Structure 1
């Protein structure tokens, strides 16, 4: 019942804000254009809000899942009109806040003490408000400036209802569109549900933040604020307050004379470092979560907050991804096709040369161009359309990574449109592959395993003795099995002979009983004594058994 109500509510919000007017009619077939022009929604007035405001207000009213979708769209100014992108940008940290009284009540229940006892100062007005939580400024009694992040009351129920609705839509798509199986919509929703549930647990976010801070400790690329664990609970997190320029405020960054080219390149380097060096990446890198430390404009450093969604890959996926990207950069499309086939990402029986030719047609035009002339989103769309011909399946474990890469591209496009994404990433990947599979990589793996090997050396004699004992036992068992099998074969042979003797003996006794038949079969034994001979012979045969 709740899902049905939610579906009707979504439909009502779409109608009330006239979101049908945002659909580009020039890209639709005639019958869909006609249906949109005749749809009953046109009876509702659009009001005084612009199209961007209507979309933003609708997403805010629809809830956190839709707000996050709008946040991701806001980074893709190449895919949206500027006025719509500007409005969606407000979703990053300008979602309407919930009352400060509710925030204080949540804090006091979590810490089991009054707000005044926990903090020397507490800002009642929200510093920032997002879809799942909002942030207040505070000062500890030790004098440290902190921010207090509080989960929105009742948000978990809203998210669970939306996720159940997404499951329902995913299953409906599978029934109506059999070809959608390769997209694994249910698995994708399942992965998204896990990431959303993790985002509701601020203790998990705090742990991820601490891990990311360790990974980039003393790094010139990225700074991660510290967590105050004594004040952190499942629905509450207290973190060091940071001071920086939001990455989306490009004009402010330029006023501080920040080296925009280096800033953009470092964003790409941070992404690939997280994915390949650490195998632990911030998967919610929209502009609202990224700031810039402008203390040294020629060497700007990023500041990352809100690690509620993080991702990692298996070793196999890491290797395949790195080799695929390197093959793309080298324009070796046959290698890309071979890797896709080898990893099982495309259908069985796919011909590498045909798949390579299709990939080449999509990717060749994008190389040797600055980022301002390339849309990675359009490239991905083209690749998905091409892969559809070859039954390529969506890999759910890569969805977060693809989303993060799109966010990084959106950031790079805003900061330095002439950035060459491929040239920036290629040396990093080549160096990573050398470290992974080259002599240095083998040596580092050996050094990593050496303590385990040294620990096992004292046990080698015992292991060798146990191995020899097991081998002897196996030999003895094998010999005993051979003897038993030989006896079984001999017994089967004896049984066959006994059965033959039984049949012969019974037959001779029958001939003796019916002497007339015996005379016809064996005329040489005619006479009165013939039955006795046959009977005696039959008895002897039976006795020999």
Structure 2
């Protein structure tokens, strides 16, 4: 094992020398001892011809040369535009997800080991030539004995030891960078590697991906917006995933989409609607929506439907983050920078002792030039990115879920404008956000929230359920006769809602708590009669 680690280190060193990555490092403001140490490196004494490549190109080519684990790391790194210079982020975003496939015999052996049966006993047909091969897994086409066409995704063999070994070197390089340079510390390389470690080990468990796909399919069951292939759970294992094979047009194949007369404007708008539905309605969003994972159904081009695959990376937001994010976006487009600054402080995204006036001025300085453009030309993703970069100066801690959100929004937005360049993202999103905010503070929704929060108090929870059932009855339905106990329960519930209104007035916005008071007071007065 030690010999393998040394050989891997020598391989990394050769790549560093080939692409002159040490020149990038020593161009930083390093401590004196680091510059002296660098001057003593043997290869730096030898004449080297300058590479006719940008620093981003050199880094991208080096990661490609180092293999699948480093390629995957580069892909993840490219999403951290809040940390990287734009030229490096743009170049890393070009990393391709195609790597040489591993031998078919190894793939078949792994599938048979995981399923506990011969491939011929499980599938009527199995194509040994993979359809696609990525850094973590590859995919084969197959047909079940029942005649259903499926795809079989299988994790690369012997991947975990390689990942651990490469992660150890990545952590070492990250710690050295943090010690060497204040600029490197600002990029927080150890934190970036830690995020990568969690992401890549999560992706090694295909049962997690299958569960994500099933949930996303359930969220959009019967929806004309999005279709998610069915998972065949009886054939899923930690290293093997079997799901329905889909046929569609890759979303970036604009010529084919045009040939079938796809409504491109509606397609672009539906992409935005899918994103906001996942984020705000479900708090469960596909966070890896690059073009390779998105297709368009060929069935109804005048009423286009997306197809999503590869649900290995899923993001979610807390109710508090959903609320603050929606209010931020609405405040941004009203240019209410004071509210944006205050929301960041209230949410805990920046420290409570932040001077709101200074933060407001910084946000205004960043955002005013953006709003000189027509609304349709304003990028939500770039707006969030500039906001995060500004907020970092005020010690904002970037939450992982917000990074995933920003990455997904950039993907969706770029895709939407590629499909329909005149897409007005704001006019598409604004009605959804404003409707969602109204529903959040409706009396019926607040009562549902109370029911959810009262699970630890069975009597109060039952009262909330009874009241919801009464409110849900059609107007023509006969009301159940009220009893003394029922009156007492509703009066108690009304009092609880009034108390909830007071607490909401303290913890939430001025928009929410009057609804609690009105609902609680109304119930109390009704039953008193």
Say yes or no: TM over 0.5. yes
For residues 60-459 of structure 1, the aligned pairs below 5 Å read: 61-67=66-72, 69-70=74-75, 88=94, 91-92=96-97, 94-176=98-180, 186-367=190-371, 369=373, 373-374=377-378, 378-445=382-449, 453=459, 456=462
Shift of 1:270: 1.1
Shift of 1:102: 1.0
Measured in 2, the distance between the counterparts of 1:343 and 1:449 equals 20
TM-score w.r.t. structure 2 length? Answer: 0.72
Closer, same or farther: CA 168–54 of 1 in aligned 2, 3 Å: closer
Q: Which residue pairs with 2:466 in the alignment? A: none
Q: What RMSD in Å do the two structures reach over aligned CA positions?
A: 4.1
Measured in 2, the distance between the counterparts of 1:295 and 1:308 equals 27
SS in 1 for 2:368: helix
Measured in 2, the distance between the counterparts of 1:401 and 1:110 equals 34
Measured in 1, the distance between the counterparts of 2:292 and 2:77 equals 11
Shift of 1:203: 0.9
Bigger drift between 170-179 and 148-157 goes to 170-179
Shift of 1:274: 0.9
Measured in 1, the distance between the counterparts of 2:151 and 2:442 equals 45
Shift of 1:147: 0.4
Unpaired stretches in structure 2, ≥5 consecutive residues: 30-37, 464-484, 489-529
Shift of 1:435: 1.1
Indicate yes or no: 2:15 matched with 1:13: yes
Unpaired stretches in structure 1, ≥5 consecutive residues: 29-34, 465-545
Shift of 1:193: 2.3
How many residues end up aligned between the 2 structures?
445
Closer, same or farther: CA 456–263 of 1 in aligned 2, 3 Å: closer
Measured in 2, the distance between the counterparts of 1:231 and 1:425 equals 39
Shift of 1:396: 3.1
CA contact (8 A) 2:324 2:347 kept: yes
Bigger drift between 399-408 and 181-190 goes to 181-190
CA contact (8 A) 1:182 1:394 kept: no
CA contact (8 A) 1:15 1:44 kept: no
Measured in 2, the distance between the counterparts of 1:264 and 1:42 equals 53
Shift of 1:95: 2.2
Deviation readout 1:440-467 (Å, 9 max, x if unpaired): 422444576799557656xxx9xx9xxx
Structure number, greater radius of gyration: 1
Shift of 1:326: 1.9
CA contact (8 A) 2:284 2:315 kept: yes
Measured in 2, the distance between the counterparts of 1:273 and 1:40 equals 58
Q: Flag the structure with more relative contact order, 1 or 2, with Cα contacts below 8 A and sequence separation at least 6.
A: 1
Measured in 1, the distance between the counterparts of 2:397 and 2:49 equals 41
Name the structure where helix makes up a greater proportion of residues: 1
CA contact (8 A) 2:108 2:119 kept: yes
